[in-house]
Amino acid sequence: MRQAEVTRKTNETAISVTVDLDTEGNIAVETGIPFFDHMLESCARHGRFSLMVTAAGDLEIDCHHTIEDTAIVLGEAFAKALGDKRGIRRFAHMAVPMDEAIAVVTLDLGGRGYLVYDAAFSPNGFGAIPADIFEHFFYTLCIKAGITAHMKAEGRNDHHICEALFKTFGVAFSMAAYVTPGRTEIPSTKGTI
């Protein structure tokens, strides 16, 4: 079973993440940031993997540490659950529309963390959540998980753009992490990832 549980405690946050890449439907996210919870739930629901997240952070300051540290722990959990990546597809490309918005995500689970990100939100952000935190979230997640991601989204409604990004990432991640029946090799000419 491709499962992992990772915790991280600092002076700013206490985060616990459990993932199960092969079981869908067990999703519970509590970060103290309702919009962020909704985005993570959408990612897991459409990615068809189980995700449990509990986070307590210094929200009296702002949401940055909580979102950043959740990305760190989620990235580490993805990497741990994937193991040596034997038999996975490794690559995936997906586009997901949400009304007027569309997101396109291309992933390589080849062990090199990198992000190319092209999504713009209105200057107002999402209430108390600054819009630029989502690029930082995906950057941190990709670095910790060893994922190369190219992500692009556009639209007119910030909520739709952001949700399309999270849904598309979830679907693409699930596709790339899928273990092809009967395949046991590590998908790399190097013989390791």
Domain ranges of the chain: 3-177
DSSP 8-state code for residue 146: T
| Alpha-carbon separation of residue 169 from 7, 40, 177 (angstroms) | 23, 10, 12
DSSP 8-state code for residue 83: T
Question: Closest Cα partner for 159 from 38, 22, 67?
Answer: 38
**Residues with Cβ < 8 Å from 11, sequence gap 6 or more?**
none
Q: What digits encode the pLDDT tens for the residues 23-37?
A: 998 999 999 999 999
98-113 CB burial, b ≥16 within 10 A, e <16: beebbbbbbbbbbbeb
Q: What digits encode the pLDDT tens for the residues 80-132?
A: 999 999 999 999 999 999 999 999 999 999 999 999 999 989 887 788 899 89
| Fold held by 3-177 | Ribosomal Protein S5; domain 2 (3.30.230)
Q: pTM of this prediction?
A: 0.96
